[in-house]
Structure 1
């Protein structure tokens, strides 16, 4: 999960940028209505969990990891012989990925990217369906990036939620970073959105408290 805040002139004091620098929190996502959600920073820097493994097992090369952060997933895939490229707007996250042997670009998913239309798997994990605050626009862009027979693997909120908002990162002392657009989707909302974009839900699964869906183009699925 990443935003543009690492590029801010004040990045040195921004809670999110500091969390990326140290690899630990606590750092929170402060929603516009006052809710505060703790972000699992330590997990972004750790080895893949069993829930992550359930995603990695479904990846077909080549893989594009959108909002890849410090690169735990793309590095794990490369270690298994699956080509994976991370894309993230936070320079520190990209540098960490590369330093540990991963491949990553410091770029937005909405920028020009390599091999557009040729990725067999595109990942939106760790809440990254919220990037940009407009899941329809984000999924539309990911469809452009994905090969006709490719899949989008998306992690959704475990709750039945559909929310677009402005959020900020905040540390334990209440110091805030700049606002940015964000979104949260549960599985029912993603089902509805997928249908409106001519996508089919190919698979869906849970692992612990985390929930995932695999989406593919309807015209690439026999019988649809």
Structure 2
């Protein structure tokens, strides 16, 4: 039987290996696009996120840093934070700033960021999207925006415990959530946001949130 590793080590292993899967509490596997996250931004990344950033931007759960690397190349100040040491290492290797932090830690620039990114399913971090978006709102300046990737219409709001499957081993369980297009308005409202734009590109969906 495969031994279990803690979630932090599993995420490090995932970014090192370039592959991994989520495993839901019902045993369902979900392939994670780790190699895509470690590459360059594509058209969907740019049209969903990058093109809507005009000032200092913080990427919450930055992974290997493709989004903030693109922003930095455009001259936009950007910072990535992630709980994975390997993700932070890979981001810094791109020549951009990243810190190993949880979003609820003492994050630099509270109240000063123009934009906060939650891409690649990161609205699920911590299993409580209202709490997560409330924290994003604290990080933003009053006229700032949160740019959030959500799941397809009909996905609803699902809170679950998940594990990572990386190179033949499971991680310990951690809380995660899924928010669909049909659920984001209510989640945003509870966090003090309004949905002011919805974009769909190449089968991916993102919303712009502004303080209500």
Identify the TM-score tier after normalising by the shorter chain: over 0.9
2:39 equivalent in structure 1: 46
Q: Give 1:5's match in structure 2, choosing from 4, 7, 13.
A: 7
For the structure 1 residues 39 and 198, does the alpha-carbon distance in structure 2 shift closer, same or farther, using more than 3 Å as the test?
Answer: same
* Offset of residue 158 of structure 1: 1.7
Q: Measure the CA separation in 2 of the matches of 1:165 and 1:146.
A: 28
Matched, 1:182 2:176: yes
SS of residue paired to 1:216: strand
Structure 2 CA distance for aligned equivalents of residues 85 and 205 of structure 1: 24
Displacement, 1:17? 2.6
Equivalent in 84, 88, 113 of residue 90 of structure 1: 84
1:222 maps to none
Post-superposition Cα deviations, 1:112-149, rounded to whole Å, max 9, x if no partner, equal 11110110000000000000010011011111001000
Match of 2:151 in 1: 157
> 2:201, 2:141 → 1: CA distance?
27
1:169 touches 1:176 (CA, 8 Å); kept in 2?
Answer: yes
Is the counterpart of residue 28 in structure 1 residue 30 in structure 2?
A: no
Aligned equivalents of 1:171, 1:118: Cα separation in 2: 37
Of 120, 130, 153, 2:124 maps to 130
Q: Which residue of 1 aligns with 2:187?
A: 193
Equivalent residue, structure 1, for 2:14: 19
Distance 2:98 2:65 in 1: 8
TM-score normalized with structure 1 length: 0.88
- Kept in 1: contact 2:152–2:205 (CA 8 A): yes
Which has the higher relative contact order, 1 or 2, with Cα contacts under 8 A spaced 6 or more apart? 2
What is the aligned partner in structure 2 of residue 169 from structure 1? Answer: 164
Cα drift, residue 159 of structure 1: 4.2
8 Å contact kept, 1:201–1:216? yes
* 1:203 equivalent among 197, 203, 206: 197
* Residue 172 of structure 1, CA deviation: 6.5
Residue equivalent to 1:60: 54
Cα separation, 2, equivalents of 1:98 and 1:195: 35
- Change in CA separation of 1:104 and 1:172 when aligned onto 2, cut-off 3 Å: closer
Stretches of structure 1 that go unaligned for 5 or more consecutive residues are: 219-224
